[in-house]
Amino acid sequence: MSRRGVHDIAIVGAGMVGASLALRLAQEGFDVAMIETREPAGWSANDDVDLRVVALAPSSVGFLDRTGAWKSIQSSRASPFRKMCVWDSIAPGELTFDAADRGESALGYIVENRLIQSVLWQNLQRTRIALRVPAKVIATESNADRRTLTLDDGAALNARIVIAADGADSTLRDLLHIDTATRDYSQRAIVAHVKTERPHQSTAWQRFLPNATLAFLPLADGRSSIVWSLPTADAERVLALDDAAFCRELGAAFDVRLGTVNTATKRAAIPLRMRLADSYTAPRFALIGDAAHVVHPLAGQGVNLGLRDAAELADILIEARDAKRDFAAEHVLRRYERRRRSDDALSAYAFDAIQRIFGTDFPPLAALRGAALNMTDRIAPLKRALARHAAGR
């Protein structure tokens, strides 16, 4: 602990975003405390693949590599995807990306949430980071040189800056009365793993349907992880189907691109919404990850945006500290907010617009979006720009 019993940085939330930021800052010599309500579930290669997976962009892989976590993740069970194919169920039109066109081996990796969290947690335990688990923040206040967190056991923890990475329903965001712009999509994302007649071709597939989107993501064991976003009533009906009926309906929705769907695991459903915090900062305080923003999963960018938050904030704090400035000063945190909130907001509202446009079956609009997919696929500079943005570059 720093002099006078004040940590440099306290991070609340040890999920992917919070834990990776803690490791990065600890590497740079910051005195870091981590507060988490419970230890993450362990991971074993003998376990079935976690239902929750993420599509890590190259920027996210790079950041995880800088924390020292990526090699363990990659060697455990990570599936590279080399191509991406997007098409519409109503209008002709298709957009494809190929890593080979950019001279790269992969566009990204499909990795289980639990695997990433398990590796990060193991790495946290090997550091000098002060872990407070289980612990919950119930109050906070700031003064000129620190922010104080009151924990549920009555203890107080002081830090020069507190970073909230405590998820979409962030307690700290609420304690600081930071409002959010929210949209409930009245949809649920059904997730499962399926085995198809033909191999997934190391390709991430996405099909737009009326009022729905469907993604097939390649897993390391040859199966595909599906994310099927449907209106709530339709999702409940699909969840109630027996396995054979579910596989038939899923295969039809996917246009039988990989042949018949032969088997499926158990299914789960996740309510969908968009949420964007009005502000990312307060005195000696910053929001990152889902605490700052939640986006529609159709582009698979949620965790990538969060890891970009972490990377940006780490760089800004390190730069200020190395320049002998107060790294928790308002003007320093404002730099982080300007850089990240604009990108996060652009992404959130862009995904929202795509969901609205591709979610309708209005014929003229369907024809326009099909033409737009074809046009984008043929205009190389535009296609490259989209690929760079998705990669986090």
| Distance in angstroms (rounded) separating the CA atoms of residues 298 and 215 | 8
Average pLDDT of the residues in 52-68:
96
Residue linked to tokens 């957009």? 95
Strand partners, 89: none
Average pLDDT of the residues in 320-338:
97
Query: Which residue, 145, 140, 136, 144, is CA-closest to 173?
Result: 140
Q: What confidence tier does 374 reach under pLDDT thresholds 50, 70, 90?
A: low
Burial (CB count <10 Å: 0-12, 13-18, 19+), residue 343: middle
pLDDT tens column, 184-211: 999 999 999 999 999 999 999 999 888 8
Q: What confidence tier does 297 reach under pLDDT thresholds 50, 70, 90?
A: confident
Residue 335 amino acid letter: R
In a 3-state reduction of DSSP, which class is residue 146? coil
pLDDT above 80 (res 277): yes
What is the distance, to the nearest Å, from the Cα of residue 101 to the centroid of all Cα atoms in its chain? Answer: 26
Is the separation of the CB atoms in 18 and 165 below 8 Å?
yes
Q: Which residue has better confidence, 350 or 237?
A: 237
| Distance in angstroms (rounded) separating the CA atoms of residues 292 and 278 | 9
| Distance in angstroms (rounded) separating the CA atoms of residues 32 and 6 | 10
- Give the Å distances, CA to CA, from 76 to 49, 50, 112, 205: 11, 13, 10, 24
Average pLDDT, the chain: 91
Q: What's this model's pTM, rounded to 2 decimal places?
A: 0.92
pLDDT tens column, 1-38: 555 689 999 999 999 999 999 999 999 999 999 999 99
Tokens of 385: 């720009």
Q: What confidence tier does 101 reach under pLDDT thresholds 50, 70, 90?
A: confident
Average pLDDT of the residues in 138-145:
94
Is the separation of the CB atoms in 53 and 226 below 8 Å?
no
Is the separation of the CB atoms in 264 and 192 below 8 Å?
yes
Find the distance separating the first CA and the last CA of the chain, reported in whole Å.
36
pLDDT score, position 366: 59
Non-local CB neighbours of 214 within 8 Å, separated by 6+ positions: 206, 207, 226, 227, 228, 229, 250, 253, 254
Q: What confidence tier does 358 reach under pLDDT thresholds 50, 70, 90?
A: low
